[in-house]
Structure 1
């Protein structure tokens, strides 16, 4: 990930609703969620407001959509999120990675590592 991509991603997530959507979709896993379910989980966000936020996140490359029948399903782009974290930690602590160990440890989870390769 380069600096302009990172700036676009951070700008997209710098709004409360969009940050909540990204976190919700990360929790949902690769199956994703229908737009209506996302709206419900966010406390009944209006369709037009939610559509605006989803479009913004999709343009930033943080989420993707697919059509399943009459539903649009949104899911996190794990490779983009991993790239964003990698961008932040790329030159970690000027050759002293042990300083960044707590940050790296916080990223550990029982997730399937193939998820970071999707998208």
Structure 2
């Protein structure tokens, strides 16, 4: 990951509504949620949420799919995994084993059901 990409992701999440929207979509991954449901659950006007989703999409954090009259938004948890990997790339002088506790703490969010 390039520094510019990391800064774009961090900037996108550095606003409460966008952070809340992304976290809500992560909870509903992989299926996502219709934009109207996100707006209702967060108490945000539709047009305002649309602008926030544009920022998140440009940062590669969400994707949208039109289904009939609805737009379904899905989070890309992989974007956060890539950001985390970038941020700890040189952790402990390159000894990634020393970073095992923080990495293990994030594992449950990304574990697949068996």
TM-score higher than 0.5: yes
Aligned residue pairs total 112
Q: Which position in structure 2 is the counterpart of 1:57?
A: 56
TM-score, normalising length from structure 2? 0.90
> How far does residue 10 in structure 1 lie from its aligned partner after superposition?
0.2
- For the residue of structure 1 that corresponds to 2:66, the secondary structure is strand
Q: Distance in 1 between matches of 2:4 and 2:65?
A: 26
The runs of 5 or more residues in structure 1 that have no matched partner are 114-119
> How far does residue 50 in structure 1 lie from its aligned partner after superposition?
0.6
Pairing of 1:70-89 with structure 2 (within 5 A)? 70-89=69-88
Q: Which position in structure 1 is the counterpart of 2:100?
A: 101
Q: Deviations over 1:61-100 (max 9, x none)?
A: 1100001111000001122221111111111110333432
TM-score, normalising length from structure 1? 0.87
- For the residue of structure 2 that corresponds to 1:107, the secondary structure is helix
